[in-house]
Structure formats: C-alpha cells, structure tokens
Amino acid sequence: MRAILLFLFFIICFVSAKSQFFRNYRPGYYYDLSGRKISGLVDLYPSRENVFYKPDEKASSSKIKIEEIKSIIINGDSMVVKSEDGKDNHLYYAKPIFATSNSKIYIKYKFVYTGSTMSTVNTVGMRNGQPVSSSSLTWTGHHSGGYIGLEEHFMYEDGNTTYELKKGNFMEVLSRILTDDTELVKRLQSKVYKFKDLQSVLEMYKNKRSVI
C-alpha cells in the first residue's frame, strides 16, 4: 500500500510539473460569471479545477479558477461549471449530455488510479486533448502496480445543483426524469436494465428523443 501511495504521489507531481511546460492550448472561449465572453487559447483538463488561458500564442498564460468560470467552449465542445450535492464550494466541469422536461444529464470526469488488473468501469482517456469514451480504461499512464486514466460519472440536475447517478438511486431518479418515455421507464421498473446498463439506457433515451 505504501508503495502504491508513493507511486501516486510521484505521478501526480510529474503530471503537475510536466503540465507547466507542455500545455495543450486550443482555440476556444469561456464565459465569466458576469456573462462576458473571453476568447483566445484555452488549456482545459476536465478533472482539474483550474483552466489556463492566453489571448494568443505569444501572450503569457493566466490561471483561471473554476469559481470565476460559467462555461467553456473548445472546438465546439462545451463544458459548464456545476456544483455537486448542493455544495457551492464543490464545483466541477460538467459535459452536457441531454436535457429532459425536468432535469439535465451531465458527465463528470474524475482522475482515477486502478490496481494491476483491468477495470471495467466507464472511463475515458484523452485523445488529441479531448475526452474519449470507452467501455474500459483508456490508459493515460501505466506502471507495474496499476494504471491511470479518467473516469466518467453520470450526474443529474436537481434544482441548482447536481447529484451522481448511483446503483442505489438510478432506477428511482431515471423513472422520475425520463417520464416522457413510458416504455423505457416500465423496463427500468421491471428491472430489465441493471446499473451496469446505465450508459446504454441514457444513450437509448437520447437517440429516441434527439434532445440536447
């Protein structure tokens, strides 16, 4: 266990140090809390709180705190800042998946370290600086003790905050927010779909409704 913790510490330090010199700036813009649009080059890693911004290639970069950002658009992909579990100081970058009549579904990305065996959780890696979905880990680093990547967590909006869809609540929550698809809700309540089918269920709803 101590060896694993030490490895994680060095990896995090290495990634942090490396990112200081090799940032992935891409054309984009963000909106601040006042609604002002700020265009330029943006470096965003979705599991990291801070964003790095510069007006152009020759300009110096600035670190923008998540508390100062409302949303970010890079290469047409948008991330919005949301709170979790009703805590205003617990903010993250959320990727919008779709909206229903009474809620919205997002993806939250989380840095993850696995053991020596392969994981089967829904995770993402980074390809050309963009999150890439996968049914298993897309490795962004590896070691004899395990692997490092990004993990997807599906979130739902309730009021002004978001909560995670989990094994213990997904059936109740989806039955409540997917009410315009009665057939899908019936299958959920009949336990045709299990928690492991969550991503497939959300994709089915999105494809049938063609909502954002």
Check whether 2 has a pLDDT greater than 60: no
Least confident stretch, 15-24, 25-34, 171-180, 183-192: 15-24
The string of pLDDT tens digits covering residues 61-70 is 999 999 999 9
The string of pLDDT tens digits covering residues 8-63 is 555 555 454 444 446 789 999 999 999 999 999 999 988 888 999 999 999 999 99
Distance CA 212, CA 201 (A): 16
Distance CA 32, CA 72 (A): 9
Q: For residue 148, what pLDDT is reported?
A: 61
Q: For residue 134, what pLDDT is reported?
A: 41
Domain parsing of the chain, residue ranges: 24-164, 166-212
Q: Give 9-70 as a 3 state SS string.
A: HHHHHHHHHHHHHCCCCEEEEEEECCCCEEEEEEECCCCCCCEEEECCCCCCCEEECHHHEE
The string of pLDDT tens digits covering residues 70-92 is 999 998 889 999 999 999 999 99
Taking a C-beta distance cutoff of 8 angstroms, is the pair 200, 152 a contact?
Answer: no
Distance CA 64, CA 158 (A): 27
Q: Which pair of structure tokens corresponds to residue 15?
A: 């990634």
